[in-house]
């Protein structure tokens, strides 16, 4: 009996410690794009809470900030584009991908584009030569793939000036003529077009193959290994959120509007994309290949070590 009592006390103590650990908020960084809808849905529909996770989404102005925030532990999980993730790894930050997010496909193609000022005279890929293009992060998803697209059209991207502009500043940047065009996604894209400060020049991402990773959720390897149960629970919540979004697009749009601070009427026109919670080696290898062709990474990367399983 005494042995049983010792066991029960020890078990209760262990559970209390675990509960205390899980009570620590998990700060998750995201940028102002609707592609993060699984994060918002999982928070608002209680999919994190039912798994014992206290998740706090944190709006970050530019995607390249996320790896440094993870390293400083001001974020525990960050929604990074694959290119930013891989550049950080190549730079010596020991990150792992713990869950996938949106992937390329018809909705992503429609939701993304290069938006030019109405008077910019940008009508062909070669018209970007000598122009200034605002991007939501140097080396982030849209920037890398736009450079790849320019190269495929025979345009030397060294003749294009790229500057970082946060999503919520893009309309003002076009209006002030500090940039000739911006790379953006929904719902910012619709807001710019409806305001008349820009027009869709190209849906350049539509030239890419489907089911390639657009965003992923990453953490420091040390955090994932120390909090393995939480990392796996986070991924499960993201997967459940993706299923919810497919059946409840209107409610999903309302959650997106809340977290990126846009009116619900504007969100009504934004289609909800597909997600893939499981990241594959092939998806990361595809990105590594593109980045090596664009001189963004110098040496091979063992992508098999970068996915937390």
Domain borders along the chain are 2-103+213-305, 107-207
Cβ 100 vs Cβ 277: under 8 Å: yes
Q: In this structure, what token pair is assigned to residue 299?
A: 């040496």
107-207 shares the fold of 2-103+213-305: yes
Q: What pLDDT score does 93 carry?
A: 96
pTM over 0.85: no
| Residue 293 Cα to chain centre, angstroms | 22
Pick the CATH number of 2-103+213-305 from 3.40.225.10, 3.40.190.10, 3.40.50.300, 3.40.190.150: 3.40.190.10
Predicted confidence at residue 112, as pLDDT, reads 80
Is the domain spanning 107-207 CATH 3.40.190.10? The answer is yes
Q: What single-letter DSSP state applies at residue 103?
A: B
List, for the chain, all residue ranges whose pLDDT scores fall below the cut of 70: 1-23, 106-109, 207, 263-267, 269
Predicted local confidence at residue 280, as pLDDT: 93
What is residue 139's predicted lDDT score, i.e. its pLDDT? 81
pLDDT tens per residue, range 75-125: 999 999 998 999 999 999 999 999 999 888 766 667 788 999 999 999 999
Query: What's the pLDDT tens digit per position in 271-307?
Result: 788 899 999 999 999 889 888 887 788 878 899 999 9
Cross-strand partners of 77: 28
Whether 117 and 181 have beta carbons less than 8 Å apart is answered as: yes
């Amino acid at each position: 009996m005494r042995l049983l009592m010792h066991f029960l006390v020890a078990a209760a103590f262990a559970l209390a410690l675990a509960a205390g650990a899980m009570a620590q908020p998990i700060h998750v960084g995201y940028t102002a794009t609707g592609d993060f809808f699984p994060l918002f849905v999982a928070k608002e529909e209680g999919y994190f809470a039912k798994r014992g996770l206290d998740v706090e989404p944190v709006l970050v102005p530019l995607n390249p900030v996320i790896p440094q925030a993870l390293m400083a532990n001001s974020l525990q999980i960050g929604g990074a584009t694959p290119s930013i993730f891989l550049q950080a790894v190549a730079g010596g930050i020991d990150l792992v991908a713990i869950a996938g997010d949106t992937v390329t496909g018809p909705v992503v193609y429609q939701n993304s584009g290069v938006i030019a000022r109405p008077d910019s005279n940008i009508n062909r890929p070669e018209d970007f030569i000598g122009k200034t293009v605002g991007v939501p992060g140097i080396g982030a998803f849209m920037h890398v793939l736009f450079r790849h697209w320019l190269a495929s059209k025979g345009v030397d991207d060294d003749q294009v000036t790229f500057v970082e502009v946060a999503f919520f500043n893009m309309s003002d940047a076009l209006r002030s003529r500090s940039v000739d065009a911006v790379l953006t996604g929904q719902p910012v894209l619709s807001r710019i077009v409806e305001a008349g400060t820009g027009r869709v020049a190209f849906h350049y991402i539509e030239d890419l193959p489907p089911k390639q990773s657009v965003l992923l959720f990453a953490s420091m390897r040390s955090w994932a290994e120390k909090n393995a149960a939480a990392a796996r629970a986070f991924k499960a919540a993201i997967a459940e959120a993706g299923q919810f979004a497919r059946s409840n697009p209107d409610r999903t749009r309302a959650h997106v509007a809340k977290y990126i601070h846009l009116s619900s009427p504007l969100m009504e026109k934004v289609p909800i994309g597909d997600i893939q919670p499981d990241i594959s080696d092939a998806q990361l290898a595809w990105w590594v290949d593109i980045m090596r062709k664009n001189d963004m990474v110098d040496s091979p990367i063992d992508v098999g070590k970068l996915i937390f399983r």
